[in-house]
Amino acid sequence: MGRKRLTEIIPWILPLRKWQRTFCFYMGMALDGRKYAQQMEEKTLPYIQAKSSSPLYNRETGFDMKYQENKVFNLKLTAKKLDGMVIRPGETFSFWKAVRHADKETPYREGLTVVNGEMMTTSGGGLCQMSNLLFDLFLHSPLRITERRGHGKKEFPDPGTSLAGMDATVSEGWIDLKVENNKQQVYQIKIDFDEERIYGFLRAELEPDAEYEILNRNVAYVRKNGVIYQQADVYRKRIARMQKAEVSEEKLYSNCCEIAYQLPECVEIKEESVL
């Protein structure tokens, strides 16, 4: 049995611990010497570097659909802080720096989230769908991703994607998504919704000279001590836009997460003994 956290032994200190973590989290950014993107521009930049979308509602969670409605409400609150944000040369985009105080006037609603490996409801639940969307945009751009962490456990399948390891979890005070603009042009985030989907665009000041393709290699499902894990390597191809010719391919990272939902019978699961 694992050692209990202090907050599990003395639950009433949890709000103090969260305040401490959040204070140190933002103070660290204030002192790290980086210039963080904060400006919004009403004028839309002319070129699309990348675009992505995902369904707003996941009907496979097993939870009341009101939590999906609440998630959409939360996403639209954060979108107000993101739609139109520009990332200038030399600036770093931080998810939490950008959406901080999105709930200042209108509180977040209770949505689904994973805490300590368990699915539960919490205020602001569901914001990972926004970080996933942004991460997908950044992967399909020349911007340099400097901080990203995948979910350690998935309770249900992600709607709208067939690639493994394409997620970016966020938790204020603990986990962020950051990307650095090390190019000599401005990029801009645009977010839109219709009744069923959320849409993200990364727009550019100059016409892009390359496009990017993300792919998986070595995807495998492994059972260790009765727990199933999905393993995958994530690669990126850079393709010259004019010639439509591949310029380079690089491995970005390896991803591993626990799968807590029922896999289709056709999926092969390798057994791995653990000493």
pLDDT above 70 covers a percentage of the chain that reads: 92
Q: Is residue 12 part of a domain?
A: no
Work out how many domains the chain is built from and give that number: 1
Torsion from C-alpha of 192, 137, 209, 186, nearest 10 degrees: 70
Looking at the domain assignment, is residue 242 inside a domain?
no
115 contacts 122 by C-beta, under 8 angstroms: yes
In a domain, 231, yes or no: no
Determine if the pTM surpasses 0.85: yes
Cα 6 from Cα 24, distance rounded (Å): 19
Using one digit for the tens of pLDDT, what is the confidence trace for 75-112?
999 999 999 999 999 999 999 999 999 999 999 999 98
pLDDT at 148: 97
Tens digit of each residue's pLDDT (9 = 90 or more) over 39-66: 999 999 999 999 999 999 988 787 899 9
197 falls within a domain? yes
What distance in Å separates the CA atoms of residue 231 and residue 107, rounded to the nearest whole number?
37
In angstroms, rounded to a whole number, what is the distance separating the alpha carbons of residues 2 and 9?
A: 13
Distances (CA, A) of 148 to 55, 69, 116, 154, 166: 22, 27, 18, 17, 10
Residue with tokens 């751009």, as numbered in its chain? 141
Residues near 39 by beta carbon (within 8 Å), at least 6 away in sequence: 85, 86, 88
Q: Evaluate whether residue 189 is within a structural domain.
A: yes
Q: Containing domain of residue 147, as a range?
A: 34-205
Ranges of beta strands (E only) in 65-117 are 86-87, 91-94, 110-115
Tokens of 42: 């009403």
- Which DSSP symbol is given to 147? E
- The whole-number average pLDDT for the span 250-260 is 95
Asked if residue 253 is part of any domain, the answer here is no
> Considering the domain boundaries, does residue 153 fall inside one?
yes
**Are the C-beta atoms of 193 and 56 separated by less than 8 Å?**
yes
Close Cβ partners of 173 (under 8 Å, ≥ 6 residues apart): 18, 21, 22, 24, 25
pLDDT above 90: percentage of residues in the chain: 77
**Residue with token string 């002192």:** 31
Contact (Cβ atoms closer than 8 angstroms) between residue 148 and residue 94? no
Whole-angstrom Cα distance, residue 191 to residue 199? 6
Give the C-alpha separation, 126 to 191, whole Å.
Answer: 16
The rounded distance, in Å, linking the Cα atoms of 164 and 33 is: 34
- Identify which has the larger pLDDT, 182 or 8: 182
Tell whether 52 is covered by a domain: yes
